Structure 1
Amino acid sequence: MQPAARRHFSMLRGFHLADFLTLGNAACGVGSVFLAMLYLASGDTSHFLASAALAPAALAFDVLDGRIARARHEHSPLGRELDSLSDVISFGVAPAALGFAAGLQGGWDAAVLVYFVCCGVSRLARYNVTADALAGAGGKVAYFEGTPIPTSVLLTAVLAWAAWHGRLGDAIYGGAIALGPWVLHPLSLLFALSGTLMVSKTLRIPKL
């Protein structure tokens, strides 16, 4: 066996069942982005709704991988990094892409969506470096600082509701406001709120 092949096989042997479920989370996120892009190309609302539907599917994988890792005592630094990277895709980039596809395409909207994703990345990075310090005697983190990034599924649900009622594009809820050189759709402020809550250090959410 070639050295590169041996390294690849060794990496796969280091994966646990929970890690493969985490990759399922990532796959849902990537699929959601692709379907959002497909909606922009086709205008077919079914593509938009399918993209939104992958958010709860990603959440299911995210919940299952944690429970299985705890049940099988398979926590590892690799699993933690996989979980964070997958969450960035499924609950950060994918909702932002869906928001853009929904019609949040003004200059201010784009800035808000970028802010939202950056907040999600920062939230996960902070959790990874503080998890050990926040863990109790049993090794389990008792609470989250700021809202967990999977709460962005609520944003996806709002967008799915809008799509179901034909309120995408020019008909999006809240309309549009011209502010200086750019346009703002007030609905994008939900993304700003979500991102801000994620990076809050004063908001503590008990971890179940």
Structure 2
Amino acid sequence: MSALPQPPRHFSMLRGFHLADFFTLGNAAFGMASVFLAMQFLVTRDTTHFLLAALMTPIAFVFDVLDGRIARWRQQHSALGRELDSLADVISFGVGPATLGFAAGLSGGWDIALLVYFVCCGVSRLARFNVTAEALAEGNEGGKVKYFEGTPIPTSVVLTGVLAFAAWQGRIGDALYGGAWMLGPWALHPMALLFGLSGTLMVSKTLRIPKW
């Protein structure tokens, strides 16, 4: 008589996580902290909250780098880890910077359209990498991907740096660099074009970036 299957243990999913996966979750946690601090800035108008929100993105980037290094060091790669990494990156380097941009004053109709475009490009870029990573790694030493197609989504840390500098200079809200243009029924702040450019570079198939 075969033994009855054992019921799953409590927190069995977490028990199956590798060390690198917890660093990936740290990435997501700091990304969410950025979102909440940006919203807190909208309530308090305290620039400290804005700067702290911007700071969360480079901290999330550190965790993003560490999870990959730890996975390679411990030789623990998994499909779950890859999906976790992409989902965390969407929060930290897509939703987080877009929320910060909105909090900085990119709240015109065209601004919001560009912020949505930016996040959608980030999601598309990560999905494309997940489904093409194996093909890109074929024939390479160690089965590693040698280059990125389009800029990686963590490059949005540059956008948060620009916004943090603007906040430090008192150039957010009505004082945003470049002012605002009325195009038809909606306003466009030229700074929002940086998000549009970043999103476009992420989904490019002709731009190849060597993988660090």
Gaps of 5+ in 2: none
Aligned partners of 1:202 and 1:8: how far apart in 2? Answer: 47
* The one of 178, 181, 187 aligned to 1:183: 187
Instruction: Find the residue that maps to 1:138 and give its secondary structure.
Output: helix
- Measured after TM superposition, the shift of residue 95 of structure 1 is 0.1
Aligned partners of 2:10 and 2:50: how far apart in 1? Answer: 36
Deviations 1:27-73 (A, max 9, x none): 00000000000000000000000000001100000000000000000
TM-score between the two structures when normalised by the length of structure 1: 0.96
Instruction: Find the residue that maps to 2:187 and give its secondary structure.
Output: strand
Q: Hey, what does 2:163 align to over in structure 1?
A: 159
TM-score between the two structures when normalised by the length of structure 2: 0.95
* The one of 42, 47, 50 aligned to 1:48: 50
Instruction: Find the residue that maps to 1:183 and give its secondary structure.
Output: strand
AA partner of residue 77 (structure 2): H
Q: Hey, what does 1:69 align to over in structure 2?
A: 71
AA partner of residue 92 (structure 2): S
- Measured after TM superposition, the shift of residue 138 of structure 1 is 1.5
Gaps of 5+ in 1: none
Deviations 1:122-162 (A, max 9, x none): 00000000000000242110100000000000000000000
Aligned partners of 2:179 and 2:15: how far apart in 1? Answer: 52
Q: Hey, what does 1:87 align to over in structure 2?
A: 89
AA partner of residue 75 (structure 1): H
Structure 1 or 2: more helix by fraction: 1
Deviations 1:162-208 (A, max 9, x none): 00000010001110000000000000000000000000000000112
Matched, 1:201 2:205: yes
AA partner of residue 121 (structure 2): C
* The one of 59, 62, 73 aligned to 2:61: 59
Instruction: Find the residue that maps to 1:24 and give its secondary structure.
Output: helix
Radius of gyration: which is bigger? 2
Aligned-pair identity in percent equals 77
Aligned partners of 1:21 and 1:171: how far apart in 2? Answer: 38
Equivalent residue pairs, number: 205
Q: Hey, what does 2:123 align to over in structure 1?
A: 121
Aligned partners of 2:15 and 2:197: how far apart in 1? Answer: 41
Aligned partners of 1:190 and 1:103: how far apart in 2? Answer: 14
- The ranges of structure 1 where at least 4 consecutive aligned residues each deviate by more than 4 angstroms after the TM superposition are none
Instruction: Find the residue that maps to 2:143 and give its secondary structure.
Output: coil
AA partner of residue 68 (structure 2): G
- Measured after TM superposition, the shift of residue 101 of structure 1 is 0.1
Q: Hey, what does 1:145 align to over in structure 2?
A: 149
